Amino acid sequence: MSDLTKRMQMAGKLESEEGVPETLTAAEAFLAIAPGWDPEIGRYQSDPAKETLGEIESQPGERSAKISWSSHLAGSGTPGTPPWWGKYLKACGAQEIITPGVSVEYKPATLNVPSATLGRNTGTLRKKVWGCRGDLKIIMEKAKGLLGQFSFQGMDFSVVDGGFLAGVNYAPMLIQPPLFQGVTFLFDAYQGIISKSELSLGNTLILPDDAGQASGFRPAILGPRHPKWSFDPASVAVATKDFYGKWRASSGAAMSCTVGATPGNIITITAGKAQVEDLKPGDRKEIRIFQITAGLKETNGDDEWSILLT
């Protein structure tokens, strides 16, 4: 059979020892949309003076790889049970707080962020990246399921021959995501008329140099984060909601969005202190709107945002 681009399989596992690649099995396979794979190998080029002008043979140097994908974000179907994508959110700098039978909450974490091994199988090749940490952007668009865009940076990679992992159970990933429709979206206690919103964790991904490693790098780490939440409310009078006033002021505002109504598949995103950092006029179907981006700030530390599944 031809090596069709549509036939692809992703897998991932949190590493028990940071930077040591895990063996990926059928239990770690998951569904992904538009998986990306971007390996890099540096070259060391010596340039001695000689009578001719050509280059001499270079040497392969440092190695690293980026790996990315999108997935629909749905609950596990059971309150208090983490969703399958929760482990990847943890590797994006989130702590996981489980209340059995009630909820699973994810909040920012500065310490103890696990690293991950991630793989992309094409049916003929098995590509693997390890020592990975990442970033997440959540796209919320009217009448569509919540979409998580994951992007990871890894310290090293390998490519070997191999087929797809057999016996994969995709059932946990087939729960339909709640649609961004009939949602409760509040900014500073005001429910604007919006069509889309986007939450970005804003992680800085850093590959520390280490000449003692075969790849030249240590596992990726998360640097300073700059989370943002954007939305597009219909333009209203100042007396209804003074968006420009919030932009001019330094005070933050509470934001929240609840999507879904079925227990086990309700997702609530909140931010305690969202500061308007950019406001531009726009239009949606000839209707005036505001295009607003808010920066999410800490209140008591590691609390800029919360993703709660109930």
3-class DSSP assignment, residue 241? coil
Over residues 232-261, the mean pLDDT reads 95
Instruction: Round to whole Å and give the CA distance between 155 and 218.
Output: 6
Domain that holds residue 154: 9-42+61-309
Please report which confidence band the pLDDT of residue 6 belongs to, taking 50, 70 and 90 as the band edges.
Answer: confident
Q: Are 199 and 229 in contact (CB under 8 A)?
A: yes
Instruction: Round to whole Å and give the CA distance between 118 and 71.
Output: 15
**Residue 66 has which token pair?**
């980026």
pLDDT of residue 250: 80
- The CB density around residue 17, as the number of other CB atoms within 10 Å, is 8
Residue 281 lies in a domain: yes
Instruction: Round to whole Å and give the CA distance between 281 and 109.
Output: 35
pLDDT of residue 83: 98
pLDDT of residue 2: 59
3-class DSSP assignment, residue 89? helix
Instruction: State yes or no: pLDDT of 1 exceeds 70.
Output: no
Please report which confidence band the pLDDT of residue 90 belongs to, taking 50, 70 and 90 as the band edges.
Answer: very high
Over residues 248-271, the mean pLDDT reads 95
Identity of the residue numbered 199: L
Residue 96 lies in a domain: yes
3-class DSSP assignment, residue 86? helix
Instruction: State yes or no: pLDDT of 165 exceeds 70.
Output: yes
CA separation, residue 168 to residues 125, 143, 165, 174 (Å): 18, 30, 7, 13
Split into its structural domains, the chain has a count of: 1
Chain mean pLDDT for the chain: 96
Residue 4 lies in a domain: no
- The CB density around residue 248, as the number of other CB atoms within 10 Å, is 10
Residue 1 lies in a domain: no
State residue 253 phi and psi, 5-degree precision: -130, 150
pLDDT of residue 251: 85
Please report which confidence band the pLDDT of residue 169 belongs to, taking 50, 70 and 90 as the band edges.
Answer: very high
Please report which confidence band the pLDDT of residue 4 belongs to, taking 50, 70 and 90 as the band edges.
Answer: confident
Q: Are 243 and 233 in contact (CB under 8 A)?
A: yes
Residue 49 lies in a domain: no
Over residues 216-233, the mean pLDDT reads 98
Q: Are 74 and 265 in contact (CB under 8 A)?
A: yes
β pairing state of 253-259 and 184-187: antiparallel
Over residues 187-213, the mean pLDDT reads 97
267, β-bridge pairs: 259, 309
**Residue 98 has which token pair?**
């489980």
Instruction: State yes or no: pLDDT of 53 exceeds 60.
Output: yes
